[in-house]
Amino acid sequence: MNVKKSNQFEQLGIYCHIPFCVKKCAYCDFSSFECQDEKMVARYFKALYQEIINFAGQNKDTALVPVDTIYFGGGTPSSVEPVYIETTLALLKEAFFVTDKVEITIEINPGTLTLEKARRYKNAGVNRVSVGLQAWQDFLLKILGRVHNQAEFIDSMEILKTVGFDNFSVDVMYGLPGQKLEDVMETVQELMAFSPTHLSCYSLILEDGTPMANWVDAGQLDLPSEDDERKMHWAIDRFLKEQGYDHYEISSYCQPGYESRHNLKYWEMVPYLGFGLGAHGYFKGKRYGNANNLLDYCKLIESGKSASESEPEMLPAELMSDWMFLGLRKLGGIRDDLFKKRFGLSFFDQYETAINSLINEGLLEWDGSVLKLTAMGQDFGNRVFAAFV
Dump pLDDT digits (tens) for 170-210: 999 999 988 999 999 999 999 999 999 999 999 887 777 77
Cα 98 to Cα 79: distance, rounded to the nearest angstrom:
25
What is the average per-residue pLDDT within 259-274?
A: 95
- DSSP at 270: -
The band of 156, judged by pLDDT with boundaries at 50, 70 and 90, is: very high
pLDDT of residue 62: 87
Looking at domain 12-268, its CATH class is alpha beta
338 neighbors 352 (Cβ within 8 angstroms): no
pLDDT of residue 371: 97
114 neighbors 81 (Cβ within 8 angstroms): no
Lowest mean pLDDT among 12-21, 35-44, 66-75, 335-344: 35-44
pLDDT of residue 25: 56
Is-cis flag, bond preceding 344, omega within 30? Answer: no
Lowest mean pLDDT among 68-77, 83-92, 217-226: 217-226
Helices (H), 172-315: 181-191, 211-217, 226-242, 261-268, 294-302
Cα 346 to Cα 386: distance, rounded to the nearest angstrom:
19
Q: Where are the domains of the chain?
A: 12-268, 315-389
Q: What is the residue-averaged pLDDT of the chain?
A: 91
Residue type, 96: F
Residue type, 160: L
Nearest to 141 by CA among 25, 220, 228, 225: 25
Dump pLDDT digits (tens) for 9-65: 578 999 999 999 776 555 555 555 666 688 999 999 999 999 999 999 999 888 889
DSSP conformation letters of 135-196: -S-HHHHHHHT-S--HHHHHHHHHHHHHHT---EEEEEEES-TT--HHHHHHHHHHHGGG--
CB-based burial label for 38 (10 Å; 0-12, 13-18, 19+) = exposed
- Could you tell me what percent of the chain has a pLDDT over 70? 94
112 neighbors 76 (Cβ within 8 angstroms): yes
Axis crossing angle, helix 115-124 with helix 82-95, rounded to the nearest 10: 10
Question: 73 - beta bridge partners?
Answer: 17
Whole-Å CA distances, 9 to 65, 99, 155, 283: 6, 14, 42, 10
pLDDT of residue 275: 98
Query: 315-389: which CATH number, 2.90.10.10, 3.90.850.10, 3.30.1540.20, 1.10.10.920?
Result: 1.10.10.920
Dump pLDDT digits (tens) for 205-263: 777 777 777 777 777 777 888 899 999 999 999 999 999 999 999 999 999 999 999 99
pLDDT at 7 over 50: no
Whole-Å CA distances, 293 to 165, 171, 268, 276: 34, 27, 29, 11
- DSSP at 62: G
- Say if pTM beats, i.e. exceeds, 0.95: no
pLDDT of residue 8: 43
Cα 43 to Cα 49: distance, rounded to the nearest angstrom:
10
Answer yes or no: same fold for 12-268 and 315-389: no
Dump pLDDT digits (tens) for 364-388: 999 999 999 999 999 999 999 999 9
Cα 290 to Cα 298: distance, rounded to the nearest angstrom:
11
What is the average per-residue pLDDT within 326-355?
A: 95
**How many residues would you count in the chain?**
389
148 neighbors 141 (Cβ within 8 angstroms): yes
